[in-house]
Amino acid sequence: MENFFSRYKNPLVLMLILFIQVVALATQVKRAETGGRTASSSGGTRLIRVWTVTAITPVERVLVSTGHFFRRNWHNYIDLHDARKQNQQLQEELARLKLEQVRLREDAGQAQRLQALLGFRERYVGQTMAAQVIGASGSEQSRVLYIDKGARDGVKIDMAVITPDGVVGKIKDVFPLSSQIILINDRDGGAGVILQNSRLQGVLSGTPQGELKVKYIMADENVSVGEPVVTSGGDRIFPKGMPVGTVSEVSPDREGDPFLSIKVKPASNLSQLEEVLIVTRQSEQSTQLTSGNNSVRAADILAERLPTVNPTPSPTPAKAPGAKKTAASANPAAPAQASPLAGSTNPATGAAKPAVAAAAPRPSPSPSAASGTGVTGVKPSGAVTTGSGSQPKPAQNTTTKTGGTQPIANSATGTATSNPSAQKKPATTASPTPSPSVSPKNPSGATTSAAGAGNTTTKTGTPKKPQPKPSASPTASPAADTATPAAGSAERPPR
């Protein structure tokens, strides 16, 4: 027996070492419920990782800091001769951005008010922490990075990591002085995303080759190359609306699945990251209407942009029973859509006195609902869909359409795009010239819309009791959908 061990000592030791490692590997592999096996890095191997990372990262941190010290000095002193020119460019850009900010602030304020009216809840980037990338996996088989912030800095697992350009990844493991980021293009990385133009939702995941793909978008959907991809916020890790990348290739899935194979070019340069931001706190808050500067209603802002019509009384609505009917049915049917948008605090007004409201000119500006600028619903993603309220066009252009995959609105910016088809085809109920019966100052927007002027957020049906509050939850989607036929009916002449 002794002779056997001495003779086969080397193979026996080899088998012993391999056995130990196989057991260690087996503890990290768990069988998924669906049948497949997935490798998990947790378990008893964490101690080894902590030791290794603790030994390696301080050296990397010192080297990175030294490199940055010299680089900073270089930029501070030697590159000063470019400062004047750069300063001038920045001043010009600042002026341009100030102008843009004015417009965006207004749009954002409007979007917030509309979101508040719908009880819209969204997760914002509450607090971030800057971190320095100090190392990488050094392997083609995994795409992870190491940063110089760890548990002592408050970093936790599953925190989102971003750059100003876009999403980078999430925290996979946390050590005392450093953390490990798994990039979104790692095979275990990913995020919930939405295609910005088509509003299609999918799941972004990495591939073993380090590419980014969006999964679970049906093959019959229309996805164009170059379309921006942003986070949907549905994964509860990444804040909503963060840029992820752009669609670089669209093709049918080779595996025969009924889905598209969509490759995405990442917005961030994932191979050249120097600094990143860790989202340490996301605040989920519902937008609230605030007093003071934000007391101006969305309808008022929109009214200022639209051409004013002389408030001359007109018998037109009275002569058009269809219009009257429409006006009467508009508010009760969709108080959640039209009334909040118009800023009407009494949805019943439009329902109870449609003819009066339609005929009587009022000084208060509110063509917004009339012009189809009403919030017509909440998409499943939570995006507020509006009409072309921000477009200072005459009133015959704005049939609101919601639901489906229509490119409608961007909730993040508050900018809105109306249905192209609606823009091309003015509603037949609209008179090309502003009707005197339309009061752009009329707060009861739904009623005004029914009165004509081409503003065709109209509803059919019998008057019902108005609902005092709109719903912002996904249950609001059906309500949004109900607006679609109404918008469609706007293109038909009144009976």
In this structure, the chain runs to a length of 495
The count of C-alpha atoms lying within 13 angstroms of the C-alpha of 24, restricted to the half-sphere facing its C-beta, is: 12
Helix, strand, or coil (residue 136): strand
End-to-end Cα spacing for the chain: 104
Provide the b/e sequence for 55-65 (b: ≥16 CB within 10 Å): eebeebbeebe
Tell me if 148 contacts other proteins by CB under 8 A.
no
With CB under 8 A as the contact rule, the residue among 171, 182, 230, 375 that binds other proteins is: 182
The count of C-alpha atoms lying within 13 angstroms of the C-alpha of 351, restricted to the half-sphere facing its C-beta, is: 23
Q: Which is nearer to other proteins, 137 or 471 (CB)?
A: 137
Rg (CA), the chain: 29
Binding to other proteins in span 55-74, by CB under 8 A = 55-56, 59-60, 63
As given in the structure block, the two tokens for residue 88 are 């001038």
CA dist., res. 374 & res. 461, Å (int):
19
Tell me if 122 contacts other proteins by CB under 8 A.
no
- The one-character DSSP state at 472 is -
With CB under 8 A as the contact rule, the residue among 208, 307, 363, 478 that binds other proteins is: 208
Cα–chain-centroid distance for residue 428?
34
Q: Angle at which helices 298-305 and 83-117 pack, to 10 degrees? A: 120
With CB under 8 A as the contact rule, the residue among 180, 232, 388, 411 that binds other proteins is: 180
Distance in Å, CB of 58 to other proteins, minimum: 11
Q: Which is nearer to other proteins, 59 or 130 (CB)?
A: 59
x-or-dash pattern for other proteins, window 316-345, by CB under 8 A? ------------------------------
Is residue 252 within 8 Å of 228, Cβ to Cβ? no
Q: Which stretch binds other proteins (CB under 8 A): 50-58, 365-373, 387-395, 464-472?
A: 50-58
Q: Which stretch binds other proteins (CB under 8 A): 161-169, 207-215, 249-257, 471-479?
A: 207-215
Tell me if 364 contacts other proteins by CB under 8 A.
no
Read off φ and ψ for residue 192, nearest 5 degrees: -80, 130
Q: Which is nearer to other proteins, 54 or 460 (CB)?
A: 54
Which residue, among 237, 235, 232, has the nearest Cα to 280 in the 3D structure?
237
Q: Which stretch binds other proteins (CB under 8 A): 76-84, 133-141, 259-267, 328-336?
A: 133-141
x-or-dash pattern for other proteins, window 262-301, by CB under 8 A? ---------xxx----------------------------
Q: Which stretch binds other proteins (CB under 8 A): 30-38, 114-122, 322-330, 353-361?
A: 30-38
> What's the CA angle centered on 212, arms 209 and 215, to 5 degrees?
115
Distance in Å, CB of 49 to other proteins, minimum: 4
Tell me if 95 contacts other proteins by CB under 8 A.
no
Tell me if 314 contacts other proteins by CB under 8 A.
no
Helix, strand, or coil (residue 23): helix
Q: What is the largest CA-CA distance in the chain?
A: 115
Is residue 350 within 8 Å of 444, Cβ to Cβ? yes
Tell me if 146 contacts other proteins by CB under 8 A.
yes
Tell me if 173 contacts other proteins by CB under 8 A.
yes
Which residue, among 214, 277, 287, 221, has the nearest Cα to 249 in the 3D structure?
214
Q: Which stretch binds other proteins (CB under 8 A): 139-147, 306-314, 468-476, 483-491?
A: 139-147
Give the residue ranges of DSSP H helices in 306-437.
Answer: 316-319, 321-333, 338-342, 347-352, 354-359, 420-424
Q: Which stretch binds other proteins (CB under 8 A): 40-48, 99-107, 113-121, 487-495?
A: 40-48
- The one-character DSSP state at 218 is B
Tell me if 9 contacts other proteins by CB under 8 A.
yes
CA dist., res. 185 & res. 191, Å (int):
10
Q: Which is nearer to other proteins, 133 or 267 (CB)?
A: 133
Distance in Å, CB of 75 to other proteins, minimum: 18
Q: Which is nearer to other proteins, 277 or 412 (CB)?
A: 277
Interacting residue ranges for other proteins, rule: CB under 8 A: 9-10, 13-14, 17-18, 21-22, 24-26, 28-29, 36-41, 45, 48-49, 51-53, 55-56, 59-60, 63, 133-142, 144-146, 172-173, 180, 182, 187, 207-209, 271-273
